[in-house]
Amino acid sequence: MSEGYRAKPDEYNALAKDYATGLLQGAVDASSKALLRQMDSVYPFSKAHYILDLGCGPGQIISHLIQDYGSEVPQSVRILATDVQLRRALEVERDPHSIWGRLENVVCDAQNLSAISNNSFSHITAGLVLFLLPKPQEALMECLRVLSHEHGGGVLATSCWPHSDWQDLMKLLVRVVPDKPAYEVPREWQTVDGVRRELEEAGFREVKVDQTTVYVDYDNPAEVYHWLTTSIPYLIRHTADLGLVHLEDLKHAMFRHLTRLYGSGGGRMVGTTIVASGRK
């Protein structure tokens, strides 16, 4: 049996906070910028009329959208931010007289957008979220439904992490406790071709897929162990019932792995982001 992040709502806050201010912040920021670059190249933000940020988390994509493309986005544009929880979402200083003032927030499951009308959005962003869902295809088909037909069809841009050093560390749990479910990114989201097929099978056309390298800097292995076991839902869930012996074994396994890669002090973990877009 294998399992990815598959964050439950009650585990979500720790992950969302880490995306905003924790060790993952730099990697999330780089992934968000890559997603927005690709989206703008496919359907420029200068033509946007209604933007949906699906699984908005702490608002990292919207922040970069406004920071990097705010001068190009029409002043009439509307932005809707949705997630399964919004308590920690969009924790940023917002100028009510800027685009932020037109931001709408809705609690919503990405796999069920029934409250949203067909043909509503010119742009949908879904950064580092669809591959975490139990049924990504349902979310993709919902995105296709609510995208507009205007200007040759609205665009969805999404991203995932198919592989990273920190995911390899998470996989060490089953070596320490073999009866725990193994961590694994869903097979369909592990490769460029797999992600392309996911979008095409949902009905998207003109699918474009790129990948880029992202990094997570850390000061020492202990920092990484604490981060993973207190911020990542898979490890929070499956270490909660472990005794001190197993926790120490897991810690030392992570320390050995990082030391083998980067030495005993700080280092820079490496990961891959796949960014994909498709049009209605």
Angle between helices 244-262 and 221-231 (to 10 degrees): 130
* pLDDT 10s digits, 182-241: 999 999 999 999 999 999 999 999 999 999 999 999 999 999 999 999 888 889 989 999
Considering only the C-alpha atoms of the chain, give the largest distance between any 2 of them, rounded to a whole number of Å. Answer: 60
Residue written as token pair 């049924």: 135
CA separation for the pair 22, 229 (Å, rounded): 13
- The phi and psi torsions of 262 (rounded to 5 degrees) equal -130, 5
- Give residues with Cβ within 8 angstroms of 200, minimum separation 6: 207, 278
Tens-place pLDDT, residues 90-120: 544 456 566 667 788 888 888 999 889 999 9
Q: Got the DSSP string for 55-123?
A: T-TTTHHHHHHHHHHTTTS-TT-EEEEEES--SSTT-S---TTSGGGGEEEEE-BTTB-TTS-TT-BSE
pTM listed for this prediction: 0.90
Answer yes or no: are the C-beta atoms of 58 and 93 closer than 8 Å. no
Write the pLDDT tens digit of every residue in 86-97.
544 454 445 656
Rounded average pLDDT over 29-46 = 97
Residue 153 has pLDDT above 80, yes or no: yes
Pairing of β 123-126 and β 155-164: parallel
Give the pLDDT mean for 176-185.
93
DSSP-assigned beta bridge partners for residue 109: 112
> Which tokens go with 87?
């308590």
Sign of the CA dihedral running 32, 35, 37, 43: negative
